């Protein structure tokens, strides 16, 4: 796990700092992602430089140093992530007499590209990764991101050329970086609580979509180019899903559990390969408990497991994890944090996550990584179980609501909504009923789901220069015609957007801020693909999601250890905003600051903030999204 960056600029003019100096500055902004080593490779004649910060996990020797040049001399790479099947690939390449010097997966990556070419090599890689590969022979730069988007990669045309980096922090030091905010992206953030890919909070900067390769030559690097001509997918969960549902798993339920067990055992074993200390996060829920069980079943010694307890409720939260750890025989540690530590962390979150995000779970994610890092350098988690095996209640509640709505024709529902809106006498009442009124007017399942996930709605006059727009990228029911089942449609939407842009982004930034690598067996792309062949009733049955995960976990421990309602991070956000965080929030929401920024409607923001102070919980999701945006803007000005 590392941080990568680079730039391809027109040749330096007299008096300009060198490419190497700029690349070093970019790498320095990513120090937290790679505190163990750094390096720069530059070709001043071509105007290209690659830089790297290293978190040493596999091959701790200098043979794993990056940027790395292939044995043939043609390719130079900077690589962030892990290739989990690198030993299998290496064995194949050794049979072809490739001259390996060390035993890192980076060297295997380069060897694979040298022997098979980039397109074939990437198809063989199973891992989480973002990489930049410079082809010295063809004079092309390739950017590659893993299939599900576990590792980030930003890029854009800045100053006199092209630049890329693992985080936006590194792009800010490139000469010519404007820092202009993308108003459309801000609108999408306010609706969804994150900036959906491929957009970015800055104008002219993009996220490389998951499962894509971008290839650029010298001419294209000199000025903005149509992205459709530069990047192409090598894998798509949407394409795979639409084909897989027509080839469903044909075995019995017991055989399906056997097959999942086999896939997850392989995925877990490959993620336990490490030259540094390794453990697992154990919340006591189904997903993390299953991963810890699979780890312990394949380990000759007790694995290290860690549970996070929060505030006065910490003992109750960690008791479930401890019972599971005792049953499995892990070396278990409880990491307790106080409410004050969480409160003190909140103002620092925008700097950590790099782009505004409204998910409060960033706070516990960061704190467990921070407290576990002195003990371990790699942690396995259960991320992905909800998204691939129907773990969220919204997957089945939304279709039920949609079936009820469809009983009333859409024109009638729209008339009812307008009549109800007319009856609401105050702005505050309209604020409160906005979600219900929009849901009533939904024209498709996808649109209803979008409204249910919205923080601020398209009808809200939140922006200073107009209302928010409906995000057609998330509401167009025609995008996946092969997915007819409503629950499966929502699963796919979450896998494309929410999983990549919220869950995986949150995990990457909060763990890397502490120099901790996080690996997730349930995100193995073979598991992801296999889940789409699985009939829906093996995911959702008897009113519960994750049926097959529950059945598999029951092979490793008694059901009473894990069959209980889903828990979240029970922070009293409303009470904090009215108490210890009030001064921080009031400063960020001052009418003078809002007016000076010119982004948000000060009157609406203050009205909702006053309601939040009185009611504590009713408005906290809306306000939290605004506060994270305001705190990010504040941090951005100081960067």
One domain, residues 147 and 255:
no
Distance CA 126, CA 149 (A): 13
One domain, residues 467 and 341:
no
One domain, residues 481 and 512:
no
- 66-70 own/partner pairs: CB under 8 Å, 24+ apart: 66/2, 66/39, 66/106, 67/39, 67/40, 67/41, 68/106, 68/107, 68/110, 69/41, 69/110, 70/110, 70/111, 70/113, 70/114
One domain, residues 252 and 221:
no
pLDDT at residue number 68: 97
Q: Which band of pLDDT confidence, cut at 50, 70 and 90, is reported for residue 638? A: confident
One domain, residues 16 and 106:
yes
User: What's the CATH code of the domain at 59?
Assistant: 3.60.20.10
Asked if residue 492 is part of any domain, the answer here is no
Asked if residue 566 is part of any domain, the answer here is no
Distance CA 85, CA 127 (A): 7
One domain, residues 450 and 405:
yes
152-199 pLDDT, tens digit each: 999 999 999 999 999 999 999 999 999 999 999 999 999 999 999 999
Out of 199, 234, 269, pick the residue that ends a domain. 234
Q: Is 199:185 a contact under the CB 8 Å cutoff?
A: yes
43-94 pLDDT, tens digit each: 988 999 999 999 988 888 888 899 999 999 999 999 999 999 999 999 999 9
Q: Is 367:308 a contact under the CB 8 Å cutoff?
A: yes
Asked if residue 263 is part of any domain, the answer here is yes
Q: Is 436 exposed, middle or buried (0-12, 13-18, 19+ CB in 10 A)?
A: exposed
247-295 pLDDT, tens digit each: 999 999 999 999 999 999 999 999 999 999 999 999 999 999 999 999 9
pLDDT at residue number 615: 77
8-31 pLDDT, tens digit each: 998 655 445 689 999 999 999 999
Out of 487, 518, 551, pick the residue that ends a domain. 487
Out of 234, 264, 299, pick the residue that ends a domain. 234
SS3 of 384, please?
Answer: coil
Asked if residue 498 is part of any domain, the answer here is no
pLDDT at residue number 311: 66
Give residue 515's domain range: 239-391+504-561
Asked if residue 214 is part of any domain, the answer here is yes
One domain, residues 325 and 407:
no
One domain, residues 281 and 211:
no
| Sheet of 517-519, strands arranged across | 331-337, 304-310, 278-281, 378-380, 517-519
Q: How many domains are there within the chain?
A: 4
One domain, residues 400 and 527:
no
198-222 pLDDT, tens digit each: 999 999 999 999 999 999 999 999 9
Handedness of CA 164, 22, 173, 181 (dihedral sign): negative
One domain, residues 265 and 288:
yes
* Structure tokens given for 356: 């505004």
Asked if residue 545 is part of any domain, the answer here is yes
Using alpha carbons only, what angle is made at residue 381 by residues 379 and 387, rounded to the nearest 5 degrees? 150
Asked if residue 493 is part of any domain, the answer here is no
| DSSP-assigned letter for residue 13 | P
- Closest CA relative to residue 639, chosen from 172, 35, 154: 172
One domain, residues 508 and 603:
no
User: What's the CATH code of the domain at 371?
Assistant: 3.40.50.620
Distance CA 176, CA 24 (A): 17
pTM for this structure?
0.94
CA distances from 594 to 194, 201, 602, 612 (A): 20, 18, 6, 18
One domain, residues 385 and 401:
no
């Amino acid at each position: 796990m590392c941080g990568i960056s680079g730039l391809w600029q027109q040749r330096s003019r007299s008096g300009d700092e060198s490419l190497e100096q700029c690349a070093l500055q970019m790498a320095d902004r990513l120090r937290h992602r790679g505190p163990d080593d750094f390096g720069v490779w530059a070709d001043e004649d071509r105007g290209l430089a690659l830089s790297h910060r290293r978190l040493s996990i596999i091959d701790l020797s200098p043979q794993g140093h990056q940027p790395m040049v292939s044995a043939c001399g043609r390719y130079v790479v900077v690589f962030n992530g892990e290739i989990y099947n690198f030993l299998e690939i290496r064995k194949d390449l050794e049979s072809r007499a490739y001259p390996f010097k060390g035993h890192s997966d980076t060297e295997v990556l380069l060897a694979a590209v040298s022997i098979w070419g980039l397109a074939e090599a990437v198809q063989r890689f199973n891992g989480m990764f973002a990489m930049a590969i410079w082809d010295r022979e063809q004079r092309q730069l390739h950017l590659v991101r893993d299939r599900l988007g576990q590792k980030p990669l930003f890029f854009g045309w800045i100053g006199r050329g092209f630049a890329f980096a693992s985080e936006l922090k590194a792009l800010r030091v490139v000469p010519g970086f404007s820092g202009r905010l993308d108003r459309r992206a801000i609108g999408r953030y306010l609706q969804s609580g994150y900036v959906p890919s491929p957009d970015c909070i800055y104008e002219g900067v993009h996220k490389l979509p998951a499962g894509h390769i971008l290839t650029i030559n010298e001419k294209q690097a000199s000025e903005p180019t149509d992205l459709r001509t530069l990047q192409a997918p090598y894998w798509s969960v949407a394409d795979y899903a639409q084909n897989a549902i027509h080839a469903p798993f044909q075995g019995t339920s017991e055989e399906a559990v056997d097959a999942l067990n086999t896939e997850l055992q392989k995925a877990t074993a490959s993620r336990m390969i490490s030259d540094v200390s390794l453990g697992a996060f154990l919340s006591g829920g189904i997903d993390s408990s299953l991963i810890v069980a699979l780890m312990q079943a394949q380990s000759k010694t007790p694995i290290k497991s860690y549970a996070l307890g929060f505030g006065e409720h910490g003992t109750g939260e960690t008791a479930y994890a401890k019972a599971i750890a005792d049953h499995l025989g892990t070396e278990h540690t409880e990491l307790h944090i106080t409410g004050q530590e969480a409160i003190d962390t909140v103002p620092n979150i925008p700097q950590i996550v790099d782009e505004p995000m409204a998910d409060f779970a960033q706070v516990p994610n960061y704190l467990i990584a921070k407290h576990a890092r002195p003990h371990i350098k790699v942690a396995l988690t259960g991320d992905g179980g909800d998204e691939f095996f129907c773990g969220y209640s919204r997957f089945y509640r939304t279709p039920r609501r949609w079936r009820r709505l469809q009983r009333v024709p859409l024109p009638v529902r729209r008339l009812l909504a307008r009549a109800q809106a007319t009856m609401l006498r105050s702005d505050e009442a309209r604020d409160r009923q906005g979600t219900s009124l929009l849901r009533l007017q939904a024209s498709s399942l996808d649109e209803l789901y979008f409204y249910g996930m919205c923080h601020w709605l398209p009808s809200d006059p939140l922006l200073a220069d107009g209302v928010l727009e409906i995000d057609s990228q998330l509401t167009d029911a025609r995008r996946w015609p092969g997915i007819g089942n409503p629950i499966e449609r929502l699963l796919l939407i979450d896998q494309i957007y929410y999983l990549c842009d919220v869950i995986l982004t949150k995990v990457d930034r909060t763990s890397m801020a502490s120099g901790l690598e996080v690996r997730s067996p349930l995100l193995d792309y073979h598991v992801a693909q296999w889940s789409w062949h699985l009939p829906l009733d093996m995911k959702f049955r008897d009113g519960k999601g994750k049926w097959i995960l529950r059945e598999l976990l029951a092979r490793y421990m008694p059901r009473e250890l894990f069959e209980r309602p889903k828990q979240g991070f029970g922070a009293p956000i409303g009470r904090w905003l009215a108490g210890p965080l009030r001064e921080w929030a009031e400063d960020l929401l001052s009418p003078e600051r809002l007016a000076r920024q010119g982004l948000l409607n000060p009157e609406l923001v203050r009205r909702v903030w006053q309601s939040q102070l009185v009611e504590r919980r009713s408005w906290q999701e809306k306000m939290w999204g605004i506060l994270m945006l305001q705190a990010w803007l504040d941090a951005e000005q100081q960067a």
